[in-house]
Amino acid sequence: MALATQRPAAATAQVNTMPGFLKVEHLAKAYQVDKPVFADVSFTIAQGEFVCIIGHSGCGKTTILNVLAGLDTATSGHCFMDGREIAGPSLERGVVFQSHALMPWLTVRQNIAFAVMSRWPDWNKAQTNEQVEKFVALVGLSNAMDKKPSQLSGGMKQRVGIARAFAIQPKMLLLDEPFGALDALTRGTIQDELMSIVRQTQQTVFMITHDVDEAILLADRILLMTNGQELEGGGYAPGGMAEVVVNQLPRGRTRSQLHHLDGYYDMRNHIVDFLVSRAKAG
């Protein structure tokens, strides 16, 4: 199966024509005026799409996520969700942080309830509880409802974080390397779970990851990002969106069967090549 990739230009063109749910236009972030970390980043995400972004550390992917979450501002460029400009954090964009960010003095139930109550402050106790229990069950932690985070394993904590993000039923989910701190075994289990939840809820997702296999498993499209680099002979090239890889592997793929699928290795090799040679110099 031929690899379907899109050049940035094509991607940019798409920005203007697609009725994208999430539109990022010419985003740039610079800490030093003449050396932006990244520049001219543009992409769209359609509703219900699962998009992953891959790149080396320092390319600015977390910054992009923070900008989308409203926790950071770009130096230039705009983001739009559902036609409205993103100007700050919102319950419409749920976030799962790299470290679970659970509040350690609250139980699992209370942590998620906090989110639910933020979203629907007029609900009564019964309604809140119902929502909480539904999403805890979704991540398979019904037994641990009344435990404190310190009593949970790393994987369980991350699942709670996911449950919390899902429980507010946001329009879009932003995940910042959510499985980076987990061991391989746990990671696998949770990836499966995430996939099934996303399918159930038809969630729109934007995720940062280092794991190529993970991206190939989960994503509908994979954005490849380069780092900013000093050029020979002076000058500086900011990082940016190098390529968009469209994942044409069949939906309903599973982790265990992934590597058997046709086209898997082509895609994988392509991405690894990118990371090794083109993503950044030095």
Partner 1 sequence: MKALNLNLRAGLVSLLMLMLFIGAWHLSTSAPSVGASSAGLTAEEIEYAKLLGKAPGAEKTTGFPQPMAVVEASWGHLSNPFYDNGPNDKGVGIQLGHSLARVAVGFLLAMAVAIPLGFLIGMSPLLSKAFDPFVQVLKPISPLAWMPLALYTLKDSNVSGIFVIFICSIWPMLINTAFGVSAVKREWLNVASTLQVSPLRKAFRVILPAAAPTILTGMRISMGIAWLVIVAAEMLVGGTGIGYFVWNEWNNLSLTNVIFAILVIGVVGMLLDLMLAQAQKAVTYVE
Binding site residues, partner 1, CB under 8 A = 69-71, 89-91, 93-95, 97, 99, 101, 103-106, 114-115, 118-119, 148-150, 168
Closest CA to 223 of 61, 52, 63: 52
Rg of the chain on CA atoms, in Å: 19
Secondary structure of residue 51 in the 3-state scheme: strand
Whose Cβ is closer to partner 1: residue 36's or residue 94's? Answer: 94
Least distance (Å) between residue 226 CB and partner 1: 27
Whose Cβ is closer to partner 1: residue 37's or residue 174's? Answer: 174
Give the whole-angstrom CA distance, residue 24 versus residue 6: 16
Whose Cβ is closer to partner 1: residue 148's or residue 210's? Answer: 148
Give the whole-angstrom CA distance, residue 169 versus residue 123: 15
Whose Cβ is closer to partner 1: residue 166's or residue 264's? Answer: 166
Least distance (Å) between residue 157 CB and partner 1: 11
H or E element at residue 178: none
Secondary structure of residue 115 in the 3-state scheme: helix
Whose Cβ is closer to partner 1: residue 23's or residue 157's? Answer: 157
Least distance (Å) between residue 60 CB and partner 1: 18
Least distance (Å) between residue 105 CB and partner 1: 4
Report the relative pairing of strands 22-29 and 4-6 from DSSP bridges.
unpaired
Give the whole-angstrom CA distance, residue 63 versus residue 110: 30
Least distance (Å) between residue 34 CB and partner 1: 29
